[in-house]
Amino acid sequence: MIAKEKILKGFETAEARWARFGPYYAMFPLDFAFDVVEKYSKKGDYIIDPFAGRCSSIYAGGVLGRNSLGIEINPVGWLYGKVKLQPAEKDKVVRRLIEIYYKRNYYNRTVEKMPEFYRICYCDEVLKFLLAARTHLNWQKDSVDATLMSILLIYLHGKLGEGLSNQMRMTKSMGMNYSVEWWHKNEMSTPPEINPFEFILKKIEWRYEKGKPNIYESAVILGDSSNELIKITERALINDIQFSLLFTSPPYYSITDYHADQWLRLWLLGGSECPHSSKEKHRGRFINKQEYYNLLDNVFGLCAKMMKSKSTIYIRTDRREFTLNSTLEVLNKHFPKHEMNIIEKPLKPGVKTQTLLYGNTSSKPGEMDIILTRN
């Protein structure tokens, strides 16, 4: 098994190159994920993350020889995690890229009808290519299509020269009106001319240069943990499987809307042409305290049924009063025999946490690690 140190430094191995796959805010730092998995579990153990994000915890578990299972409700994070755990063969991904590229010419008239945002964000060649990918890539069921789509998502928008778009952020999709006004104001209303085939081919070549990662039995499920954990619990009981480590970071109360903030990538996956907040429970920004508490109560309650009596529960959460107190109360309820240790994680210079980026007005920004153990 590859040494952890080689994964955490640079891009010299396949495991290191795929570990950082997919820009995603509110994600675990890579070294943190590997350290927790290594310290609180052993090879062959079962670990679970019901709020997996882009699956840093699950990837760390798979690389380190743990049976790792994640659940993620956001298709963007799920796709990043699924692909880096098991990317398709490179030659098949390249062939699929060629097929999609040659379908772009069917979308000449469609491009002309697109809103101003898209016409300024992408040159016509790129936009036609993206429309073809949006229509023809079966990313939910086909591993080759999933791999190609996930690579497109990574480079869908970013700084000039680093992505397929006009100047934009990489992690968060800015609003349509804001972007159009900003481009006009900064005299950037003409998108860069990019050949999407050549651009994406180079990204594929770089990603596969060291091969594919060697991952132990690991997977991530697309869905709502409140529903998926019921099925997982039933299968675990039937197969006499118990988890040694629950390692996760739940969404923080009233911080951000993960779907609205990823609207452009969700558009490429078949979503709405315009950004909007999700109306579905557990998908948007949590503004109802009772619903937020119920989510934690339900998810951690279901997880508790699958954990070994001598297990570790490692939760990273927001230090703001409601989120922290709700998390502590729920964990004490479902793991009453575990010993609790709370570690304060103050904000470090240059580190942008979820709360700092998306709504924390606390005088002491930062996060808290709640660790429950039973020996």
pLDDT digits (tens, 9 = 90+) for 109-124: 999 999 999 999 999 9
Comparing CA positions, the residue from 93, 89, 104 lying closest to residue 195 is: 104
**Res. 364: pLDDT tops 60:** no
Considering the chain, what is the average pLDDT of its residues?
89
b/e for 324-357, b at 16 or more Cβ within 10 A? bebbbebbeebbeebeeeeeeeebeeeeebbbee
pLDDT-derived band of residue 252, with 50, 70 and 90 as boundaries? confident
Calculate Rg over the CA atoms of the chain. 21
3-state secondary structure at position 49 = strand
Percent of the chain at pLDDT > 70 equals: 88
Residue 251's pLDDT band, with cuts at 50, 70 and 90, is confident
How sure is the predictor about 336, in pLDDT bands with cuts at 50, 70 and 90?
very high
What is the spatial distance between Cα 254 and Cα 324, in angstroms, rounded to a whole number?
13
| Closest C-alpha to 355, from 254, 225, 212, 213 | 254
Give the pLDDT score at 256.
59
Q: Report CA 148 to chain centroid distance, whole Å.
A: 16
Residue 312's alpha-carbon distances to 51, 71, 248, 329, 345, in angstroms, are: 16, 18, 11, 17, 19
Least confident of 18-22, 41-45, 161-165, 184-188: 18-22
Whether the pLDDT of residue 350 is over 70: the answer is no
Q: How many helices (H) and strands (E) does the chain have?
A: 17, 7
- Quote the CA–CA distance of 364 and 245 in Å, as a whole number: 29
pLDDT at 346 (0 to 100): 64
- Contact (Cβ atoms closer than 8 angstroms) between residue 54 and residue 80: yes
Average pLDDT, integer, range 182-190: 96
Specify the pTM. 0.90
Res. 2: pLDDT tops 90: no
1 near 37, Cβ under 8 Å? Answer: no
* pLDDT, position 280: 57
Asked if 347 and 279 count as a contact pair (C-beta separation under 8 A), the reply is: no
CA 209 to chain centre: 23
Residues 356 and 347: beta-carbon distance below 8 Å:
yes
Confidence of residue 360 (pLDDT cuts 50, 70, 90): very low
Measure the CA dihedral 129/135/139/140, to 10°: 160
Average pLDDT over residues 164-180: 91
The tens digit of pLDDT for each residue in 290-331 reads 989 999 999 999 999 999 999 999 999 988 889 999 999 999
| In the predicted structure, residue 354 carries a pLDDT above the cut 50 | no
Query: Is residue 281's pLDDT more than 70?
Result: no
pLDDT value for 328:
97
pLDDT tens digits, 14-73: 999 999 898 766 667 888 999 999 999 999 999 999 999 889 999 999 999 999 999 999
**Exposed/middle/buried for residue 60 (C-beta within 10 Å: 0-12, 13-18, 19+):** buried
Average the pLDDT over 250-274 and give the result.
Answer: 84
Q: Is pLDDT of 84 > 90?
A: yes
Q: pLDDT band at residue 3, thresholds of 50, 70 and 90?
A: low
- Of 179 and 356, the structure prediction assigns the larger pLDDT to 179
Model confidence at 363: pLDDT above 50:
no
Residue 365 and residue 252: Cα distance in Å, rounded?
A: 13
